[in-house]
Each structure stands twice: as C-alpha cells, then as structure tokens.
Amino acid sequence: MALKGVVIDAGHGGSDPGASGNGIIEKDLTLLISKYMYDRLRELGIPTYITRTTDETIDSTERTNRIKNAFGTSKDVIVISNHINAGGGDGAEVIYALRNNSTFSNKILEELQKSGQNIRKNYQQRLPSNPIKDYYFIHRETGKTEPILVEYGFLDSPNDDVNQLKNNVLDYAEAVVRAVAEYANVPYTPP
C-alpha cells in the first residue's frame, strides 16, 4: 500500500472522559498511547497527524474535520482511533469500516497478541437505523480513508487487562506501530 499519511485519534478528551475505573481514565490513556504512536510513526518517516495533544474537548464534527483535513479522505490514508474498553470483558478488539477488508485489523491483532495482549475479535458494526452505514462516526464520516478503532483492553476486566493497561500499554501502542509499518511496506526499526 502506498501510504499518504496516518491520522492518530486520541479518543475522548476534555469534558468527555470516556470510560473510567480501577484508576484508569480512558481519555488520559488514549492520549498517552496516541502521543507515543505519533512520535514513533514520525521516527519511521511516516507522515502522521494527531487529533489532539492535550486534554481538550472535541465534538464528533470537529474530530472528523481534523481527520479529513490532515491528509484528505482517500483510501491511502489510515486513521487509528485509540480507545479503552469497558463492559467486563478481557482482551483487545479492532473495529474496521464496512468499506474495508479485515487485512489491516488482522495485522493489528496479530501484533497485539505478540506483545502479550490476548485478543477477542475484529469486526464491523452497522448502524441499526441504517444497516448500510457504519455504526461509528469515525468510520462513517471520514471519506474513503481506512479507519480502525482499536480497543486495547477492558479497564473493568475481571482478568489481567487492568494490570496490562497500567503496565504494558505502550508495548501495545508499539504493536500497532509495527502493524502500520508492515501494512504500508515501511521499514520498521524498534525504539
């Protein structure tokens, strides 16, 4: 794949904390992951943009505008929206857009698994009111880009996710960096 650029989206922020529990606040962890990823992708020479670098509130319209204005809306733009799950499960999930195939999301799950995180699944999610549309605006409102929503683990997991999110989350961020490099045929060098 000839890659135009990668947009890193730190999920939530500001007045929208996302999920929280067990000493983890989603908006803070997604910012940590996203800033790390932004720096690493740039080190690898990949053009990269980040939607927020501080704890700011961004509504869905502003967020999608920032994504679309970074490198445009063509299919050679990857969008990675970083999130932390809640709901009592355990492991990582990746949600990809209806317009894309599972190749990139499979690669991310493989790399997360190599980094020690157990994986649940990758899937597409449809809007119940209109099943030909994606459920998540990050998939629905970003043109022809290849958007991926990564849920790194459950902050309310009864298993090991809580400790893993507190101790290993940058290993998981690096796993996604490896997946991007491999998917985009960019030489990878470890940090």
- Region of 74 on the Ramachandran plot (φ > 0 left; ψ -120 to 50 alpha; else beta): beta
Segments of the chain assigned E as strands: 5-10, 20-21, 24-25, 48-50, 77-85, 92-96, 119-123, 126-127, 130-134, 146-154
The bridge status of strand 146-154 relative to strand 48-50 is: unpaired
Residue 1: the pLDDT is 75
**SS3 of 19, please?**
coil
Residue with the two structure tokens 């990564």: 150
Q: What is the pLDDT of residue 2?
A: 87
10-residue averages of pLDDT along the chain (191 residues)? 94 98 98 98 98 98 98 98 97 98 98 97 97 97 98 97 97 98 97 94
Q: Integer distance in angstroms from the first to the last C-alpha of the chain? A: 23
Structure tokens of 50? 């980040």
| Biggest distance spanned by C-alpha atoms of the chain | 44
Phi and psi at residue 155, in whole multiples of 5°? -75, -5
Residue 13 DSSP one-character state: B
pTM here is 0.97
